[in-house]
Amino acid sequence: MNDSRKPCENRLEEISLLAAGCLADREERELRQHLAMCDGCRERFDELASLSLGLRAAKPAVDADSVRNLARSLLHAPSPASTAGQSRTADWRVAMLAFTVLVLVAVMSHFALRPTDHTEQPEVVQESPQVAREELGSPLPTLFALRRAAAESDESFDRLLAQYSGSLVSEPFRFQSISQEFVP
Amino acid sequence: MDVSDTSLEGELIRRAQVGEQRAFQQIVQQHSEPLLRCALTLCRDRQLAEDIAQETLLEAWRSIGRFDGRCRFSTWLYGILRHRFLKATQRVARKFAELPVEDAAPIAAPNADPLRESQRAEDAARIRQAVAALPDEHRLVIELRFFADATLDDIAAALDIPLGTVKSRLHNGLEKLRHQKLAVNLFSTDRESPTRQP
């Protein structure tokens, strides 16, 4: 409580809110009890209450036709229930389309990836190590080529080994020639 | 029928949510004017304010099914209004003109004393000018509270600021206006402050 004409510092915001009509019932009751005892706060409240009245009286006019037109504008708006129904229908259409596309892709990929002639397989396996061999310039088959040929069939693996047999046979000769250089 | 009654408004909202347009229109009749005032406060352009308010109500009608009652309907509406206002400002991309004071004159009471009404209109114009001269953060809160009758929650939703900030801005805005001694003569003919009485 403040006996002087100055309002209490800790009540200033509350007083403004009360003057603006924004205080909850319980807070308002509590503050009004304080105002009854504090001259400084009561004077400040009276000043702000008068200002609030002035502000409300200065409320700009709004064209009544504009307000009525706002409500009328809704007359032609589609119902949210019907738009929700439309969107549900649209969702179903999209889902059906997506399902059809998925089925088509699955069917097409099945036919596209399926080998049409089993006799072609050895040719592919036969070519692959050759390419690797040419590219690397290596006298030995690559590990990849060996694995692939082994996975295909025993025949493919034998064929691959036969391809590299010349290189494999030449290895001991090379070893001999190197060792011969160190023989005194 | 007074739609401001919470239970009645709740019932109307439920009916609107199942597509009853008449129920929504009843709610709208209650909120149209404050909404238009709020739009006017935000954009300060009558035509644009009407457009934004209309878009807000249409958007509210389209998405009424998503209103879950966790806040007041007006607060939800003011949130939509803020989004519409931001979209409109991006669309228009221009500085809003000041609202002419003579265009915003309050409506005179019927059978009022012309001299007294003239004085009142002058005072009101002076107050509006003082409010318009406030920094934007204070002006918006003051105008929304006193010109658009928005609650603190509505203002927080319309400006997307915390409730505590709304309170402090309202207090600071009122203090700024009080320092201008706006209220000293305003109602001296109507009533005397209790503290000034002998």
Task: Give the mean pLDDT of A138-161.
Answer: 78
On whether residue B97 sits in a domain, the answer given is: no
- B146 and B80 share one domain: no
pTM, two decimals, is 0.59
Last residue of a domain, one of B72, B92, B112: B92
On whether residue A79 sits in a domain, the answer given is: no
Using the predicted structure, report yes or no on whether residue A89 has a pLDDT greater than 70: no
- B130 and B173 share one domain: yes
| Of A42, A57, A81, Cβ closest to residue B18 | A81
Of A51, A62, A45, whose CA–CA distance to B134 is shortest?
A: A51
- CA dist., res. B182 & res. B191, Å (int): 15
Beta-carbon contacts of residue B40 (< 8 Å; ≥ 6 apart): A60, A62, B46, B49, B99, B147, B148
On whether residue A141 sits in a domain, the answer given is: yes
* Cβ neighbours of B3 (radius 10 Å): 18
A59 HSE (CA, 13 A, CB side): 21
Q: Does A36 touch chain B (CB under 8 A)?
A: no
On whether residue A26 sits in a domain, the answer given is: yes
Residue contact B36–A48, C-beta within 8 A = no
Q: Does A119 touch chain B (CB under 8 A)?
A: no
Q: Which structural domain range is residue A152 located in? A: 120-181
A113 to chain B, closest Cα gap in Å: 49
Tokens of A104: 């088509």
A44 to chain B, closest Cα gap in Å: 10
- CA dist., res. A45 & res. A30, Å (int): 14
Furthest CA-CA distance within chain A: 125
- Distances in Å between the Cα of A61 and the Cα atoms of A9, A64, B128 are 37, 9, 12
Using the predicted structure, report yes or no on whether residue A179 has a pLDDT greater than 50: no
On whether residue A45 sits in a domain, the answer given is: yes
Q: Quote the percentage of chain B above a pLDDT of 90.
A: 18
Residues of B in contact with A75 (CB under 8 A): 21, 25
- CA dist., res. A22 & res. B150, Å (int): 10
Residues of A in contact with B35 (CB under 8 A): 70
ipTM of the complex: 0.70
Q: Does A58 touch chain B (CB under 8 A)?
A: yes
Number of domains in chain B: 2
- B85 and B120 share one domain: no
Q: Are the CB atoms for B104 and B128 separated by under 8 Å? A: yes
On whether residue A105 sits in a domain, the answer given is: no
Tokens of B175: 């203090």
- B86 and B133 share one domain: no
Q: Does B67 touch chain A (CB under 8 A)?
A: no
On whether residue A43 sits in a domain, the answer given is: yes
Residue contact B178–A59, C-beta within 8 A = no
Of B149, B151, B102, whose CA–CA distance to B128 is shortest?
A: B102
- CA dist., res. B193 & res. B197, Å (int): 7
- B129 and B192 share one domain: yes
Per-residue pLDDT tens digits for B6-39: 778 888 888 888 888 888 888 888 888 888 888 8
- B85 and B108 share one domain: no
The pLDDT value recorded for residue B48 is: 86
Last residue of a domain, one of A57, A74, A89: A57
- CA dist., res. A105 & res. A113, Å (int): 12
Tokens of A178: 């190197």
CATH number of the domain enclosing B70 = 1.10.1740.10
Q: What's chain A's average pLDDT?
A: 74
- B188 and B127 share one domain: yes
A34 HSE (CA, 13 A, CB side): 20
CATH number of the domain enclosing B113 = 1.10.10.10
Last residue of a domain, one of A40, A57, A74: A57
- Name the one residue in this structure whose structure tokens are 């800790």: A10
The DSSP letter of residue A145 is H
Q: For A24-76, give the DSSP string.
A: -HHHHHHHHHHHTT-HHHHHHHHHHHHHHHHHHHTPPP--HHHHHHHHHGGGG
Residues of A in contact with B57 (CB under 8 A): 70-71, 73-74
Using the predicted structure, report yes or no on whether residue B171 has a pLDDT greater than 90: yes
- B132 and B181 share one domain: yes
Beta-carbon contacts of residue B181 (< 8 Å; ≥ 6 apart): none
A90 to chain B, closest Cα gap in Å: 17
A180 HSE (CA, 13 A, CB side): 6
- B41 and B123 share one domain: no
Q: For A70-135, give the DSSP string.
A: HHHGGGGSPPHHHHHHHHHHHHHHHHHHHHHHHHHHHHHHHHHHS-S-TTHHHHHHHHHHHHHHHH
- A122 versus B76: which is more confidently predicted? B76
Q: Which structural domain range is residue B36 located in? A: 6-92
- CA dist., res. A100 & res. B51, Å (int): 44
Sign of the four-CA dihedral B58, B60, B61, B62: positive
Residue contact A66–B36, C-beta within 8 A = yes
Number of domains in chain A: 2
- B124 and B168 share one domain: yes
A13 to chain B, closest Cα gap in Å: 6
On whether residue B35 sits in a domain, the answer given is: yes
Q: Does B26 touch chain A (CB under 8 A)?
A: no
Using the predicted structure, report yes or no on whether residue A22 has a pLDDT greater than 80: yes
- A11 versus A90: which is more confidently predicted? A11
